[in-house]
């Protein structure tokens, strides 16, 4: 008589497949844990720097904004006194208005010029050398760029005023006039940053499928219609990113003003960052300066939120 041994049914819950599945599950978890450890190892230096140079100073700055503090003494808690004083400070409101004027000029010019340069790079300038040359001003430090233009735009010996006089026009006090001081600062920073902004927009143009332009051309669409109906809608996420980055950077302008006009003439170029520097480091009122910095942080957070919310920067029409 032959004896037949029945093997365990895998479907019915045999031990071998279950054991194999648990082994594979443990191996998968172990592999993910190993990948996480490696990732944390690479992230750790940047994370440590971020915590010590950004998070900790931010928390301390918020704390100091509620105190009266200078380097020679200990912080003394004053509550909301600094914020109450700021609300009644005409220099603060003047610096906010001056900064707003600078931001509007800088953003309008920089975005328009960068978009034009990006379109030229995309359709005309195919040479890598030419494209790279557009980035040269951005590779220059802000201080060097400011000093360069400060000398070139000097009222007495500046080469720009030499050409203006040669053309039969009166010289312009670019940095000494209340009307010209902030537009001049904005033009300097536009010149320096528009190449980098154009590169960001150019990257967005590269992501737009080429067959859309071919279809539009076959349908008889003009260049302007193609730009308005295809390029701009599909470029919206990149343009929103550019606007957010440039607006935040424009609100933080400091070094150009510091090496040229130092807030003058009168208060025509006393931007909010320079006012923070004056109150904190010149007048040793770190509590008041920290309070202004907190207000600036809240303004930038609100502006960025409004831009992302209403311009729908997280949505794309490429779907």
Residue 182 clears pLDDT 70, i.e. is over it: yes
Domain extents in the chain: 17-64, 88-310
Residue 261 clears pLDDT 70, i.e. is over it: yes
Q: Tokens 């020679």 — which residue?
A: 72
Question: The tokens of 24 are what?
Answer: 């594979």
pLDDT at 101: 96
Identify the band that residue 213 occupies on the pLDDT scale cut at 50, 70 and 90: confident
Q: Provide the residue count of the chain.
A: 319
Q: What is the mean pLDDT of the chain?
A: 86
Residue 17 clears pLDDT 80, i.e. is over it: no
pLDDT in tens, 280-310: 999 999 999 999 999 999 999 999 899 888 8
What is the mean pLDDT of the segment spanning 232-261? 91
Exposed/middle/buried for 157, CB within 10 Å: 0-12, 13-18, 19+?
exposed
Residue 246 clears pLDDT 70, i.e. is over it: yes
Residue 9 clears pLDDT 70, i.e. is over it: no
Select 88-310's CATH number: 1.10.10.10, 1.10.1040.10, 1.20.58.390, 1.10.3720.10: 1.10.3720.10
d(CA 289, CA 82): 9
What is the mean pLDDT of the segment spanning 124-143? 81
pLDDT in tens, 39-61: 889 999 999 999 999 999 999 99
d(CA 172, CA 184): 11
Residue 245 clears pLDDT 60, i.e. is over it: yes
Closest residue by Cα to residue 101 from 197, 183, 172: 183
pLDDT at 1: 46
pTM of the model: 0.83
Q: What is the DSSP letter of 242?
A: H
Residue 13 clears pLDDT 60, i.e. is over it: no
Question: The tokens of 87 are what?
Answer: 């609300």
133 and 219 in contact (C-beta within 8 Å)?
Answer: no
d(CA 251, CA 4): 84
* DSSP result, 64-117: HTTEE--TTS--EE-TTHHHHHHHT-HHHHHHHHHHHHHHHHHHHHHHHHHHHH
Rg (CA), the chain: 29
Torsion of CA 12, 18, 21, 22, to 10 degrees: 150
pLDDT at 130: 77
Query: What's the distance, CA 57 to chain centroid?
Result: 20
């Amino acid at each position: 008589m032959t004896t037949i041994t029945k093997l365990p049914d895998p479907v019915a819950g045999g031990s071998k497949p279950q054991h194999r599945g648990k082994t594979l599950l443990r191996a998968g978890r172990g592999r993910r844990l190993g990948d996480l450890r490696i990732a944390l190892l690479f992230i750790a230096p940047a994370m440590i720097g971020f915590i010590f140079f950004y998070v900790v100073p931010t928390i301390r700055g918020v704390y100091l904004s509620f105190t009266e503090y200078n380097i020679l003494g200990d912080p003394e808690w004053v509550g909301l006194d600094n914020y109450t004083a700021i609300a009644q400070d005409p220099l603060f409101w003047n610096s906010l208005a001056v900064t707003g004027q600078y931001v509007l000029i800088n953003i309008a010019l920089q975005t328009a010029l960068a978009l034009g340069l990006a379109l030229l790079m995309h359709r005309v300038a195919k040479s890598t050398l030419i494209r790279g040359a557009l980035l040269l001003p951005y590779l220059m430090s802000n201080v060097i760029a400011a000093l360069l233009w400060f000398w070139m735009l000097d009222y007495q010996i500046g080469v720009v005023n030499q050409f203006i006089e040669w053309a039969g026009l009166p010289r312009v006090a670019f940095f000494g006039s209340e009307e010209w001081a902030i537009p001049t600062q904005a033009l300097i920073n536009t010149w320096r940053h528009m190449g980098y902004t154009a590169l960001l927009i150019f990257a967005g143009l590269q992501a737009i499928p080429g067959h859309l332009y071919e279809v539009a051309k076959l349908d008889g669409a003009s260049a302007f219609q193609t730009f308005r109906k295809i390029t701009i809608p599909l470029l919206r996420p990149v343009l929103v990113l550019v606007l957010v980055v440039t607006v935040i950077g424009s609100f933080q302008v400091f070094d150009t003003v510091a090496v040229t006009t130092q807030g003058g003439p009168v208060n025509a170029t006393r931007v909010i960052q320079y006012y923070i520097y004056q109150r904190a480091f010149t007048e040793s009122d770190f509590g008041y300066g920290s309070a202004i910095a907190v207000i600036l942080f809240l303004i930038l957070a609100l502006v960025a939120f409004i831009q992302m919310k209403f311009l729908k920067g997280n949505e794309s029409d490429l779907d």
